[in-house]
Structure 1
Amino acid sequence: MKVKFLGNKPETKKEKKKKSFLREWGDAILFAVIAASLIRWATFEAYTIPTPSMEKSLLVGDFLFVSKLHYGPRTPMTPLQIPLTHQVIWGTDIPAYSDAIQLKSYRLPGFSEVKRFDVVVFNHPVEDQYPADLRTNFIKRCIGLPGDSLQVKDMQVYIDGKPIDNPGKMQYKYAIVPKIQLKDKFFQDRHINLKDIYPFKGGYAVDATPELAAEIKQLPIIKDVMLLKELPGEADPRVFPQVPSKYVWNKDNYGPIYIPEEGATVAITPASLPFYEKVILDYEHNEGYTVKDGKLYKDGQEVHQYTFKQDYYFMMGDNRHNSEDSRFWGYVPKDHIVGKAVLIWMSVNPEGSGFGKIRWDRLFNIIE
């Protein structure tokens, strides 16, 4: 018996069109990029140590995980950026961002504030050619906190007039004067970087811990080992605030210097202005401020005091005589803080070869 359907023909389920191979891969890559970008922004990011400024605590060739969770991730200041890049497109000099849009940055809640002796990654504050969140990443140890008065006397750091503990693996510059010519193996066996050695008065200038320097001095082939420190009263025009005529400071004898704290008000005088000029003009996003003839003006009216809008920090490298740090360019603003270095997950010796390139004893070490 035939059955006739009255009215509309019943709907049939349409077969779903299968994605092409390229479309599937494209969707997978897009998802991976978005996921990696979110993880990198909000939780952990991988960094490498390119310079010896933190030796021997951190070595050239260490690969680190840096936690954004500790201090809280920052919302992007430069949203027009190619994902998973920093300043340029990989392997080129082509900018990986556009600064056509610049946003105010906010910091999401973290579970810790920056503490003294934390090893911190931050954007280099004085690198004006890039937006703040794309400036070169530096890694140093936080020595001075907001509101501190910091001074360095004979290489020892003082906070509010009291000496603080020194990092356990801190290095200085020493002159090694040998009785014979020393070969590369002498330095490699003692984990002294060959790239940082240079001739000095019939010997070699090297970075070393006080313990290693004392050990080398006892060797029969060594004539003398001398600590190369700068003396009080020797002005270094490179150190912040770069006014050697007023502040006769150097990297071993520095300060005292006040570290700005949010809400604190300071007097602005010709003597104090060099310390706060860049803070007021650049870091605090102010408008209408100018400096002329050693005086601060806002909208043409002279200003005699200033209240800070955010906290600042004083960072120093553990390799005290081979570190470009706050002694040379001043304070690190809170909105330049990237995160806390927490773990060494890989370490490669650039002077090693084969399996000897990997420093196995440093893998998965907690950073202190």
Structure 2
Amino acid sequence: MEEGKKQGSMRTWLERLTNIAFGVCVLVVVYCVLQVFVVTSFKIPSDSMSPTLLPGDYVLVDKCSAGARLFDVLDAVEGKEVDIHRLPGWRKFRRGDVLVFNFPYRSGRWDSIAFDVMRYYVKRCVAVPGDTLAIRKGYYRVAGHEGNIGFLPAQKCISMLPDSGAAGIQMETFPWDKRRGWTVKEFGPFPVPARGQTVGMDSTSWRLYGQLVGWEQGKKLRMDEQGRILLGDSLIREYRFQENYYFVAGDKAENSQDSRYWGLLPEPFIVGRAVRIWKSVEPDEDTRWDRIWKKIE
């Protein structure tokens, strides 16, 4: 009788342990699904989005509203080219959204776009596919769009810079062509391509879109001595884009490595939209209680 009680007690404990293990597995699966498809968290390391985001802020990133991404993570970690697919969502990325994305260039390589799964940036969307962006006297302008874009106090600071520049401010910008003379104060116009949009291929489009086309096609776009545009060994006179692109900029415009300097952001590189600060700590680990659950605008 006593032996039977011991066996019954053991079975009860085994059932409890099995139930606990099963519950833990379910929680892990749910956590992974949420991380991949719904929402994830990122820590802000720099002040390039100040004062909207501060170093030490932890932000929740909405991955599902514009569609979560699917790709081979192991291949991406090994630095291989990966196909990135985006699930259907119910809204598009918009001007003013604060976006978290994989930086489109690998460290030390500025000659071609590449997906770096370990390198994340956060910037504000200034122009969306189909827009034509310009910077006039330091302020962002989109053709046909009334109203201000981005963080105005920082743009005002840029507008007050002398044309010759100031210490610590990089005045020259993408596409790094002195003949165009684009600077952080006077930039563009820069048409931002949309999927399906066709552009003529000449010296200007080669300068602006050469790396985008090369990334989409896996071939180098170049211009020969006669000014003809070649994709690999083939002469092309126009090109139809396969992806959407965005112009992004930091709110702290005088201290931000963004689209003004490296060009346009491919949509597949976007993780999602930063929506809330769920935690914020000072460098000394003190909590900034006034920033907890603050909406990102």
The TM-score range, normalised by the shorter chain, is: 0.7 to 0.9
User: What is the deviation of 1:301?
Assistant: 2.5
Partner SS state of residue 33, structure 2: helix
Please state how far the C-alpha of 1:138 moved relative to its aligned partner.
0.8
Secondary structure of the equivalent of 2:208? helix
**Corresponding residue of 2:51:** 56
**Structure 1 residues 162 and 24: CA distance shift in structure 2, 3 A:** closer
Q: 1:91 corresponds to which residue?
A: none
The structure 2 residue matched to 1:121, chosen from 80, 100, 103, is 100
Residues 1:149 and 2:128 aligned together: no
C-alpha change, 1:314 and 1:167, in structure 2 (3 Å) is: closer
Instruction: Tell me, in whole angstroms, the C-alpha distance in 2 between the residues paired with 1:280 and 1:133.
Output: 18
Deviation at 1:65, TM superposition (A): 0.4
Contact 2:60–2:275, Cα closer than 8 Å, also in 1: yes
CA distance in 2, matches of 1:170, 1:62: 21
> In 1, are the aligned partners of 2:228 and 2:235 still within 8 Å (CA)?
yes
Q: Tell me the amino acid that sits aligned with residue 294 of structure 2.
A: N
**Partners in 2 of 1:232 and 1:148 — Cα distance?**
29
- The CA deviation string for residues 146-192 of structure 1, in whole angstroms up to 9 with x for no partner, is 11111111111111166641446743697xxxxxxxxxxxxxxxxxx
Q: 1:329 to 1:99 in 2, by over 3 A?
A: closer
State the match for 1:229 in structure 2.
161
Give the TM-score, by structure 1 length: 0.66
String of CA shifts for 1:226-275, please: whole Å, max 9, x gaps.
Answer: x86242899x685111112x221211221111111111111111222111
**2:37 maps to 1:42:** yes
Letter in 2 for 1:291: R
Kindly tell me: are residues 288 and 58 of structure 1, through their superposed partners in 2, closer, same or farther at Cα, counting changes over 3 Å?
A: closer
Change (3 A) 1:317 1:35: same
- Give the secondary structure class of the aligned counterpart of 2:86: coil
Structure showing greater radius of gyration is 1
RMSD value over aligned CA atoms? 3.5
- 1:250 aligned to 2:229? no
Structure 1 pair 70–232 and aligned structure 2 pair: CA distance change class (3 A): farther
Equivalence for 1:239: 173
User: By how many angstroms is 1:36 displaced?
Assistant: 2.8
**Corresponding residue for 2:5?**
none
TM-score (norm: length of structure 2)? 0.81
Q: What's 1:94 paired with?
A: none
Out of 67, 70, 88, the residue aligned to residue 72 of structure 1 is 67
CA distance in 2, matches of 1:230, 1:261: 35
Which AA in structure 1 matches 2:292?
Answer: L
Partner of 1:361: 290
SS at match of 1:115: coil
Cα shift at 1:38: 2.1
SS in 2 for 1:260: coil
Q: Does the 8 A contact of 1:54 with 1:317 survive in 2?
A: yes
Equivalent residue, structure 1, for 2:3? none
Counterpart Cα distance in 2 of 1:119 and 1:272: 28
Gaps of 5+ in 1: 1-14, 82-96, 175-206, 208-226
**2:251 aligned with 1:318:** yes
Q: Secondary structure at the match of 1:110?
A: coil
The residue identity in structure 2 corresponding to 1:63 is Y
Is 2:84 the counterpart of 1:105? yes
Deviation string, structure 1 residues 313-337 (Cα, Å, up to 9, x no partner): 0001111101111000000111111
User: Identity percentage over the alignment?
Assistant: 29
Deviates more, 1:123-132 or 1:55-64: 123-132
> 1:299 Cα shift?
4.9
**Cα drift, residue 37 of structure 1:** 2.6
Task: Indicate if the aligned counterparts of 2:42 and 2:60 stay in contact, CA closer than 8 A.
Answer: yes
Partner Cα distance (1:33, 1:131) in 2: 31
Q: What pairs up with 1:78-227 in 2 under 5 angstroms?
A: 78-80=73-75, 97-99=77-79, 102-127=81-106, 132=115, 134-160=117-143, 164-167=147-150, 170-171=153-154
Report how far residue 77 of structure 1 moved. 3.6
Note closer, same or farther for the CA distance 1:155–1:172 as it changes in structure 2 (3 Å cut): closer
> Which AA in structure 2 matches 1:270?
S
Q: How far, CA to CA, are the matches of 1:34 and 1:79 in structure 2?
A: 19
Structure 1 CA distance for aligned equivalents of residues 267 and 247 of structure 2: 11
